[in-house]
Amino acid sequence: MSVKIGTINTVVISSPKVAKEALHKNDQALSNRLVPESVQALSHDKYSIIFMPISPKWKTLRKICATKIFSSQQLDSTQALRLKKLKELVVYLQENCRKGKAIDIGEVAFTISLNSISSTLFSIDLASFTSDSSQKFRDIVSSMLIDASKPNIADYYPVLRRIDPQGAQRRMKNHYQKLLTLFESIIKDRSNRMKDFTTERSDVLDSFLDIIQKENPELTLHDVLHLFLDLFVAGTDTSSATVEWAMAELLQNPKKMKKIREELQQVINKDEGPKDLDINKLPYLQAVVKETLRLHPSAPILVHKSISDVDLCGFRVPKDTQVLVNVWSMGRDSSIWTDPDVFLPERFLECGEIFRGEDFGFIPFGAGRRMCPGVPFAHRVVHTMLATLLYHFDWKLPDGEKIEDMDMTEKFGITMHKIKPLMTIPVKS
């Protein structure tokens, strides 16, 4: 499908065959992104790993992410910090369990995702379950995602850009500033402490500061600040939305909830609780996460752009066309999936590792060179968080609510949420 609005030509891809042509065969021509006007606030697009064009700088950022943050060795070394967050989650849930109080799963999952990233990068928490700091951060992230995805007339008619008619860039500047100021203060604080102590370099922030302080640094302070901004925005909402959808589907399917809980009881060590190393021993848990991402991909549309004319299965896509890959519709396509609207984790039990973006009917993390660099991190955080929620507790809906009345409507955006937040009560098992 092709649509032209104002000066922007858009092509929508909804079949695995064409998606493969676009993201595999024509990867080089189609791996840039069309940058919305709003995102250009504070020149974020010039520093952003998400928005900058394929370039030596982008490759450096991807390489640094892969080696300094998301390598197995690095993730193993930060595991203890994330496990601590999960233990705190259990204590918080136990309290609500005693009171019989319903909790907002999306909110709790956001707090854990946020603290998992902040403890992995900086060895500190940015939020707690009992303060409103997490909600404030979540508000900033969701406002950013709304402002980046809302139709903006200035994107379609560039002559309007100077006046920012919908105020999108002004609002975005404000959101960016809040997070950049926070990261800057964390970095300043760490640099000051490093002057006082000659400590061994230990966490991600330390190794980034090491790079910045080199004579010809691959990264400047500015690059690092904007990279942190991207990692928090790309990593928090996606991971927490996935956990919320998984819990909603399991509540609607009590037999599958029972099955996953039984698997967890067999595998998890009672004294330690779920940890990263357990994931490989939990095939049903993995299948549940995959099935959740098929039905509710937290990033439902891939947004790319052509940098030259491209031929896609006989269709000509002109240079500078916005190319959208509809991951959501491919996940529900009845020519690819049997009973596409049914939540059936069993369909993934025999598939093994398929998050590499090679099966183009199922690409929740994208494919090709722009594929999500956070997959190894998301894999650990989403599985261990879901396992923790389900290993320690059974779950029920608040009094008076019935499974069949649960509202599973999706709210489309850069991240796809439940329109009605999932409220559910932890029950002692």
The residues of the shown chain that bind ligand HEM, judged by CB under 6 A, are 49-50, 117, 230-231, 234-235, 238-239, 242, 298-299, 302, 364-366, 370-374, 377-378, 382
For ligand HEM, the closer of residues 337 and 377 by Cβ is 377
Residue 253: CB atoms within 10 A of its CB come to 18
Q: Comparing C-alpha atoms, which of 257, 228, 278 is closest to residue 83?
A: 278
Shortest distance (Å) from residue 316 CB to ligand HEM:
22
Shortest distance (Å) from residue 108 CB to ligand HEM:
16
Shortest distance (Å) from residue 271 CB to ligand HEM:
28
For ligand HEM, the closer of residues 261 and 370 by Cβ is 370
44 exposure class (CB count in 10 Å sphere: 0-12, 13-18, 19+): buried
Q: What are the residues whose beta carbons fall under 8 Å from the beta carbon of 142, sequence distance 6 or more? A: 237
Shortest distance (Å) from residue 365 CB to ligand HEM:
5
For ligand HEM, the closer of residues 228 and 395 by Cβ is 228
Asked whether residue 351 is marked as a ligand-binding residue, the answer is no
Q: Comparing C-alpha atoms, which of 415, 402, 429, 370 is closest to residue 29?
A: 370
Between the alpha carbon of residue 373 and those of residues 56, 103, 174, 313, the distances in Å are: 16, 31, 27, 28
Q: What are the residues whose beta carbons fall under 8 Å from the beta carbon of 59, sequence distance 6 or more? A: none
Q: Comparing C-alpha atoms, which of 44, 74, 76, 81 is closest to residue 233?
A: 44
Q: What are the residues whose beta carbons fall under 8 Å from the beta carbon of 360, sequence distance 6 or more? A: 16, 17, 19, 20, 23, 24, 330, 367
Shortest distance (Å) from residue 396 CB to ligand HEM:
26
For ligand HEM, the closer of residues 267 and 323 by Cβ is 323
Q: Amino acid identity, residue 91?
A: V
For ligand HEM, the closer of residues 176 and 365 by Cβ is 365
Point out the annotated binding site.
Answer: 372
Point out the annotated binding site for heme.
Answer: 372
